[in-house]
Structure 1
């Protein structure tokens, strides 16, 4: 769980870095041309959405760290960790239909590497969750 928590925290910080890095970072990290153009135009939407994702990832990091015993117990720890694990695993596997059938859209390099990262974090969560289940 500790590794999973650190991975989520790193992802949260990286999302904040995208906000600071601006349009070129939105493009590089696969947020899409529309988000990059909105950032170039000075619109708040890209930063708000990215900050929201960062906050959610930091919350998930907190739950994983709580599951690892690194911080105190958080409310609804078991169900929250199950849900977080499921989201990471499902997001990690989301590229499979795109790769196989190109439906609803063909997979891009962003989808492949981001799915691999999410799958790895999901596996870390699942492994940690199984190992810590009885003590949660």
Structure 2
């Protein structure tokens, strides 16, 4: 049985696609984009020096985010069922939520102050995690493993 469309998972998938494309944009945009999006001065400097490390790392992240989008779209019924769909969606939700919630210890450790990048990136990723978690919860009965 094909799962019903799930707006939370569709949103999560679209957010992951956007993040993947932004990572590709950093590769194309170069050092200034790495700096603007908070990759750190070391990554920007390596990119300026022509190192392949920033490109390879960023391509890897973009690929992972694209795969995560595919899992969201699969769970929403827009793509064929992917292997380990239930487990994959739970793990993806957990990773996004934990990354977003990392803001709390950062605020505690730093006396309530964090770099703007840490603040806004954590809040954005928390939205991703909530979309995946709600979507996974909603779709759960339709995501039974194949027999």
Using the size of structure 2 for normalisation, the TM-score is 0.89
Give the C-alpha shift of residue 82 in structure 1: 0.2
Larger Rg belongs to: 2
- How far, CA to CA, are the matches of 2:56 and 2:114 in structure 1? 26
Q: How does 1:39-58 map to 2 (within 5 A)?
A: 39-58=47-66
Could you say what the CA RMSD is over the residues aligned between the two structures, in angstroms?
A: 1.1
- How far, CA to CA, are the matches of 2:110 and 2:56 in structure 1? 30
Give the C-alpha shift of residue 120 in structure 1: 0.2
Give the C-alpha shift of residue 95 in structure 1: 1.5
Please name the residue that 2:11 is paired with.
Answer: 3
* Higher RCO (C-alpha 8 Å, min separation 6): 2
2:83 to 63, 75, 82: 75
Unaligned runs of 5+ in 2: 1-8
SS of equivalent to 1:30: coil
Match status 1:114 vs 2:99: no
Q: How does 1:22-61 map to 2 (within 5 A)?
A: 22-61=30-69
Runs of 4+ in 1 over 3 A off after TM superposition: none
- How far, CA to CA, are the matches of 2:116 and 2:98 in structure 1? 18
- How far, CA to CA, are the matches of 2:115 and 2:91 in structure 1? 26
Unaligned runs of 5+ in 1: none
The alignment of Structure 1 onto Structure 2 pairs a total of residues equal to 134
Using the size of structure 1 for normalisation, the TM-score is 0.96
